[in-house]
């Protein structure tokens, strides 16, 4: 600080140039030194010094991240100077640093108003720019009238900027529509191309937020589409029509012709051409000629050398792919070539297009090609490929897969790809297929065995999920495996210590299942006397001989015991508990494993325990839909009163509500969620669908309803429920036990070759319920205001065109009580129309927007 106190510095202010030069010299403390200087200078009264200081500060703030919010008040001071240069600096600083929270925002309202009404067009434009950048609700409201005047200004420059500002004003203060909208629309007919482009730009933004309100303006837009030669304007108009045509199909027909005209021109700019193509693909795809022309033009894009055009061509194709796959198929070679392009964007687009082309016949071929690509690519793209294959194949319950054996081996292959990071998804699919497709279980076990045996895979943390799925599958469907001993050995190999405890627990549990299966088979094979048992042993479910000799079973048991001994002291509770369970079980039955049957007494404790465990694991676990829990009906007689609520409060820590089951957990269907609050809400729904509740609970229900009526559905709906199961989407309120699903909902597909295995479908489909699009409630007042404005002028639109000149003259009418003036102008036009107009203005806002007859 001492060094800056020289006479030179205190007498002469550093100009901006000096500041910049100083910065470039690279003194590290220069910024803080200058900041101190600026703080001093800016408080002085001389306006020139102030403004230069402000300018320096703006520079520092813009490019060096210095905070300049503290100078807000000074900026206001500078702006009030009469010199244009100062004003400019001041407005620039304001536009840069003011935000909605700036406390001195109110102070500039008046200044803005003065400048907006100034006769100097440059001052006006400065103020407009500033308003555009920082406009808040208050500012917009206060300055609407000024903006309105400027919308009709004779100076094109000012008008243009005012139009640009209108967008922001509308956004912040929707009531401004009543005042300004008419002028805005009048500007649509302006002959000055600059004004036109500004207006069209504003409408483009407005339309993308809420297309329906601007439908009545379609004729004006159409005129511009046909007449204009300016590319920028045309591009914006096309965007507007894309939005409008998607909600109003009749427009599409009318607009298709001019669009085709534009596309056919010889030297049309690529940007315009692309916009035409994009419009056709997204909104006019039902128009034959337009579509064919667009597809022809897209071919040119795809073969161009310029990577930009190639990318855009692919992008456009992906827009049209869902509805018109033939367009994509025509360009198959270009797409495949693009897969090997260097640019990741291009590759990604090509990949998406390729996946769109996948169907039953070519899925194997395409997957093979893609896996080859994946092995050669960088990790990011490799995972993209794997991810998209997984998504495409699992869509709609594996719709396109005919050969599940091949698909399972593909999943196994994916696990071995070095960069694979999609472990969770693969795990999910493995388990999913296991539970849903009975015929594929043999292959699943084979694939799982291959994965489990390999010790190298255990080290890769991305694969842990896949391994856990493999372990689970091996345990659950152990009856299909050729050698349970091998499986158990793989599950307990020493390298499994690399696994996280949760997955280890799954491994141990699967080993348990293998043990139970093997010992059970051994015990039942030991008793050849009983014919029933003999039947059991032959139909033990596998196609391979389960030759369990004494040696093999005792070695299995001892191997498992050995493998688990070391784990009984682990820190992790889950692993330890399961280990101890298995070891305890082994201890119980070990001495019963003898060379020959000891006695006819098959009722030994061990046998009983064995039978018990077999039972546990014999019930097939079915897939559970994510919404299944909601459908569980309440058991009859379960009383839900306020008493229970108190109980919940008291015992909150003890009675944790059971989590809802999701599709990857394996509860049996009998569990009822204990969460009382949820039950009280569901109560009405379920109770009304089952038999009428007994009278005493009816009164309790009524009482409950009085207290919590807010959460109940309307009684009309419950009547519908009571009327019977007229449900249209085939979902009954009773959730059927898991075993019955496969009977109801299988889809046989007969093919010439091997028939497609049965895939069990869930009641409601697999995709999680998508939330409905949240409509933006902010735009509500704006849309309503615009609709009112358009309603009011709807009938008199022709007269608007005739009396455009009159309007221009009457702009000089004073600014107060605009509404009366507007009404008065309307009345001036024609007395015939005035009565109709008054009627229209009283018409309700919710009347559907009419498309003018010009277009029909």
Measured distance CA(144)–CA(138) in Å, rounded: 10
Residue span 215-234 as binding mask against another protein, x where in contact by CB under 8 A, dash where not: ---------------xxx--
Residue (200 or 567) nearer to another protein, CB: 200
194 near another protein, rule: CB under 8 A: yes
Residue closest to 330 by CA, chosen among 357, 363, 306, 362: 357
| Binding residue for another protein, selected from 118, 153, 308, 554, defined by CB under 8 A | 308
> Shortest gap between Cβ of 314 and another protein (angstroms)?
10
Distances in whole angstroms, Cα of residue 489 to Cα of each of 471, 472, 484, 511, 823: 12, 15, 8, 9, 90
Q: Which two structure tokens, joined as six digits, stand for 375? A: 């092995």
235 near another protein, rule: CB under 8 A: yes
The residue range among 38-46, 129-137, 569-577, 747-755 that interacts with another protein, by the rule CB under 8 A, is 129-137
> Shortest gap between Cβ of 316 and another protein (angstroms)?
11
Measured distance CA(444)–CA(423) in Å, rounded: 16
Residue closest to 440 by CA, chosen among 474, 408, 486: 408
Measured distance CA(705)–CA(693) in Å, rounded: 14
270 near another protein, rule: CB under 8 A: yes
Give 189's DSSP letter: G
| Binding residue for another protein, selected from 22, 201, 736, 852, defined by CB under 8 A | 201
Distances in whole angstroms, Cα of residue 804 to Cα of each of 176, 823, 837: 21, 16, 18
Q: Residue by residue, what is the 3-state secondary structure of 148-168?
A: HHHHCCCCHHHHHHHHHHHHH
Residue (230 or 460) nearer to another protein, CB: 230
Residue span 322-351 as binding mask against another protein, x where in contact by CB under 8 A, dash where not: --------------------xxxxx-----
Q: Is the dihedral of CA 607, 612, 613, 618 positive or negative?
A: positive
> Shortest gap between Cβ of 275 and another protein (angstroms)?
5
239 near another protein, rule: CB under 8 A: yes
Measured distance CA(101)–CA(96) in Å, rounded: 14
- CA 531 distance to own-chain centroid: 60
Residue (150 or 613) nearer to another protein, CB: 150
Q: Are 109 and 141 in contact (CB under 8 A)?
A: no
The residue range among 126-134, 469-477, 504-512, 804-812 that interacts with another protein, by the rule CB under 8 A, is 126-134
Report angle CA 397, 386, 330 to the nearest 5 degrees: 80
Measured distance CA(134)–CA(99) in Å, rounded: 6
Residue (317 or 467) nearer to another protein, CB: 317
Measured distance CA(244)–CA(400) in Å, rounded: 36
> Shortest gap between Cβ of 167 and another protein (angstroms)?
6
The residue range among 52-60, 537-545, 767-775, 798-806 that interacts with another protein, by the rule CB under 8 A, is 52-60
Q: Which two structure tokens, joined as six digits, stand for 726? A: 């007229």
| Binding residue for another protein, selected from 51, 55, 145, 377, defined by CB under 8 A | 55
Residue closest to 50 by CA, chosen among 67, 63, 37: 37
298 near another protein, rule: CB under 8 A: no
Q: Are 705 and 688 in contact (CB under 8 A)?
A: no
Residue (172 or 823) nearer to another protein, CB: 172
Question: What number of CA atoms fall less than 13 Å from residue 482's CA on the CB side?
Answer: 7
Measured distance CA(57)–CA(341) in Å, rounded: 47
The residue range among 83-91, 439-447, 598-606, 748-756 that interacts with another protein, by the rule CB under 8 A, is 83-91
165 near another protein, rule: CB under 8 A: yes
Residue span 250-269 as binding mask against another protein, x where in contact by CB under 8 A, dash where not: -------------------x
> Shortest gap between Cβ of 244 and another protein (angstroms)?
14
Residue (131 or 260) nearer to another protein, CB: 131
> Shortest gap between Cβ of 345 and another protein (angstroms)?
5
What does residue 80 show for φ and ψ, rounded to 5 degrees? -80, 0
| Binding residue for another protein, selected from 77, 146, 248, 275, defined by CB under 8 A | 275
88 near another protein, rule: CB under 8 A: yes
312 near another protein, rule: CB under 8 A: yes
Residue (47 or 201) nearer to another protein, CB: 201
278 near another protein, rule: CB under 8 A: yes
Measured distance CA(152)–CA(186) in Å, rounded: 9
| Helix ranges, 590-734 (H) | 605-618, 628-631, 642-650, 676-689, 695-707, 715-723
| Binding residue for another protein, selected from 148, 173, 241, 311, defined by CB under 8 A | 311
16 near another protein, rule: CB under 8 A: yes
Measured distance CA(174)–CA(171) in Å, rounded: 6
DSSP-derived secondary structure for 735-792: PPPGGGHHHHS------SSSPPPP-PPPTT-SSPPPPPP---STHHHHHHHHHHHHHH
DSSP-derived secondary structure for 8-32: HHHHS---HHHHHHHHHHT-TTHHH
> Shortest gap between Cβ of 436 and another protein (angstroms)?
36
| Binding residue for another protein, selected from 32, 208, 555, 776, defined by CB under 8 A | 208
Measured distance CA(176)–CA(184) in Å, rounded: 11
17 near another protein, rule: CB under 8 A: yes
Task: Show Cβ contacts of residue 716 under 8 Å, excluding neighbours closer than 6 positions.
Answer: none
| Binding residue for another protein, selected from 22, 129, 141, 840, defined by CB under 8 A | 129
Task: Show contacts with another protein in window 552-591 (CB under 8 A).
Answer: none
The secondary structure element, H or E, covering residue 64 is helix 47-64
> Shortest gap between Cβ of 224 and another protein (angstroms)?
15
Residue (24 or 771) nearer to another protein, CB: 24
Residue (160 or 441) nearer to another protein, CB: 160
168 near another protein, rule: CB under 8 A: yes
| Helix ranges, 331-440 (H) | 332-339, 344-356, 363-376, 379-398, 404-416, 423-436
- Lookup result for tokens 């128009």: 287
| Binding residue for another protein, selected from 36, 46, 70, 85, defined by CB under 8 A | 85
Q: Which two structure tokens, joined as six digits, stand for 853? A: 């007859």
| Binding residue for another protein, selected from 75, 180, 184, 202, defined by CB under 8 A | 202
The residue range among 34-42, 141-149, 308-316, 559-567 that interacts with another protein, by the rule CB under 8 A, is 308-316
| Binding residue for another protein, selected from 40, 113, 133, 797, defined by CB under 8 A | 133
> Shortest gap between Cβ of 111 and another protein (angstroms)?
18
> Shortest gap between Cβ of 570 and another protein (angstroms)?
44
198 near another protein, rule: CB under 8 A: yes
Give 651's DSSP letter: T
> Shortest gap between Cβ of 307 and another protein (angstroms)?
5
Residue closest to 225 by CA, chosen among 160, 275, 176, 167: 275
| Binding residue for another protein, selected from 138, 205, 286, 439, defined by CB under 8 A | 205
Residue (197 or 435) nearer to another protein, CB: 197
Residue (278 or 704) nearer to another protein, CB: 278
Residue (41 or 489) nearer to another protein, CB: 41
How many residues bind another protein (CB under 8 A)? The answer is 58
Measured distance CA(182)–CA(148) in Å, rounded: 10
35 near another protein, rule: CB under 8 A: no
Q: Which residues bind another protein (CB under 8 A)?
A: 16-17, 20, 24, 55, 58-59, 62-63, 65, 67, 84-85, 88-89, 92, 99-100, 122, 128-129, 132-133, 157, 160-161, 164-165, 167-168, 194, 197-198, 201-202, 205, 208, 230-232, 235, 239, 269-271, 274-275, 278, 307-308, 310-312, 342-346
């Amino acid at each position: 600080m001492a060094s800056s106190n020289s006479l030179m510095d205190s007498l002469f202010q550093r100009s901006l140039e000096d500041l910049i030069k100083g910065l470039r010299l690279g003194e590290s403390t220069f910024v803080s030194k200058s900041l101190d200087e600026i703080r001093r200078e800016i408080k002085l009264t001389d306006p020139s010094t102030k403004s230069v200081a402000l300018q320096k500060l703006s520079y520092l703030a813009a490019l060096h991240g210095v905070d300049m919010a503290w100078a807000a008040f000074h900026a206001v001071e500078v702006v009030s100077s009469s010199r244009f240069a100062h004003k400019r600096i001041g407005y620039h600083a304001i536009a840069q640093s003011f935000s909605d929270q700036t406390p001195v925002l109110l102070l500039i309202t008046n200044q803005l108003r003065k400048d907006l009404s100034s006769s100097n067009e440059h001052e006006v434009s400065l103020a407009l720019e500033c308003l555009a950048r920082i406009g808040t609700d208050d500012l917009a409201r206060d300055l609407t009238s000024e903006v309105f005047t400027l919308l009709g200004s004779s100076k094109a420059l000012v008008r243009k900027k005012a139009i640009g500002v209108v967008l922001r004003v509308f956004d912040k203060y929707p009531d401004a529509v009543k005042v300004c909208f008419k002028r805005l629309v009048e500007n649509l007919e302006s002959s000055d191309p600059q004004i036109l482009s500004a207006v069209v730009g504003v409408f483009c933004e407005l339309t993308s937020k809420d297309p329906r309100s601007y439908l009545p303006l379609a004729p004006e837009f159409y005129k511009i589409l046909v007449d204009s030669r300016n590319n920028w304007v045309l591009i914006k108009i096309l965007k507007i029509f894309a939005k409008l045509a998607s909600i109003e199909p009749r427009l599409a027909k009318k607009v298709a012709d001019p669009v085709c005209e534009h596309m056919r021109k010889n030297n049309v700019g690529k940007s315009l051409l692309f916009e035409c193509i994009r419009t056709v693909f997204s909104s006019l795809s039902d128009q034959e000629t337009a579509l064919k022309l667009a597809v022809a033009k897209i071919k040119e894009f795809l073969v161009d050398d310029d990577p930009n055009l190639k990318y855009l061509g692919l992008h456009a194709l992906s827009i049209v792919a869902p509805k018109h796959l033939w367009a994509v198929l025509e360009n198959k070679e270009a797409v495949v070539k693009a897969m090997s392009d260097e640019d990741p964007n291009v590759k990604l687009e090509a990949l998406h297009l390729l996946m769109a082309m996948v169907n039953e016949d070519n899925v194997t071929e395409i997957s093979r090609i893609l896996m080859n690509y994946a092995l050669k690519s960088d990790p990011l793209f490799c995972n993209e490929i794997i991810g998209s294959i997984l998504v495409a194949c699992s869509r709609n319950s594996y719709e396109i897969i005919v050969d599940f054996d091949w698909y399972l081996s593909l999943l196994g292959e994916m696990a071995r790809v070095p960069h694979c990071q999609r472990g969770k998804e693969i795990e999910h699919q493995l388990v999913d297929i296991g539970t849903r497709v009975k015929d594929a279980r043999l292959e699943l076990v084979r694939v799982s065995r291959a994965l489990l045996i390999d010790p190298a895979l255990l080290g890769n943390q991305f694969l842990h999920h896949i391994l856990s799925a493999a372990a689970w599958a091996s345990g659950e469907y152990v009856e299909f495996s050729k050698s349970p001993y091998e499986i158990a050995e793989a599950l307990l190999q020493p390298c499994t210590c690399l696994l996280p405890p949760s997955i280890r627990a799954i491994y141990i549990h699967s080993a348990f299942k293998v043990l139970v299966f093997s010992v059970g088979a051994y015990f039942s094979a030991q008793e050849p006397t009983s014919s029933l048992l003999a039947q059991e042993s032959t139909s033990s479910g596998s196609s391979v001989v389960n030759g369990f000799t004494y040696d093999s079973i005792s070695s299995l048991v001892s191997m498992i015991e050995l493998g688990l001994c070391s784990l009984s002291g682990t820190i992790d509770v889950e692993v330890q508990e399961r280990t101890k369970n298995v070891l305890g079980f082994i201890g119980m039955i070990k001495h019963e494993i003898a060379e020959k049957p000891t006695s006819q007494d098959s009722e030994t404790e061990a046998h009983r325990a064995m039978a018990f465990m077999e039972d546990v694991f014999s019930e097939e676990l079915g897939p559970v839909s994510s919404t299944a829990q909601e459908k569980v009906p309440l058991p009859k007689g379960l009383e839900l009163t306020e008493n229970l609520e108190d109980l919940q409060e008291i015992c909150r820590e003890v009675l944790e509500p059971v989590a809802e089951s999701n599709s990857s957990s394996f509860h049996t269907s009998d569990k009822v969620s204990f969460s009382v609050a949820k039950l009280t809400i569901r109560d009405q729904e379920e109770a009304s669908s089952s038999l009428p509740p007994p009278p005493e609970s009816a009164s309790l229900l009524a009482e409950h309803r009085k207290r919590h009526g807010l959460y109940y559905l309307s009684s009309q709906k419950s009547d519908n429920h009571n009327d019977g199961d007229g449900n249209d989407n085939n979902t009954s309120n009773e959730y059927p036990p898991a075993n019955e699903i496969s009977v109801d909902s299988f889809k046989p597909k007969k093919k010439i070759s091997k028939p497609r295995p049965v895939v069990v479908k869930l009641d409601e489909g697999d995709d999680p319920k998508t939330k409905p699009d949240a409509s933006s409630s902010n735009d509500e007042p704006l849309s309503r205001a615009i609709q009112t404005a358009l309603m009011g002028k709807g009938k008199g639109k022709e007269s608007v065109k005739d009396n455009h000149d009159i309007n221009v003259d009457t702009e000089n009418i004073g600014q107060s009580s605009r509404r009366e003036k507007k009404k008065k102008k309307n009345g001036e036009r024609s007395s015939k129309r005035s009565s109709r107009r008054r009627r229209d203005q009283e018409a309700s806002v919710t009347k559907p927007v009419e498309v003018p007859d010009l277009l029909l």
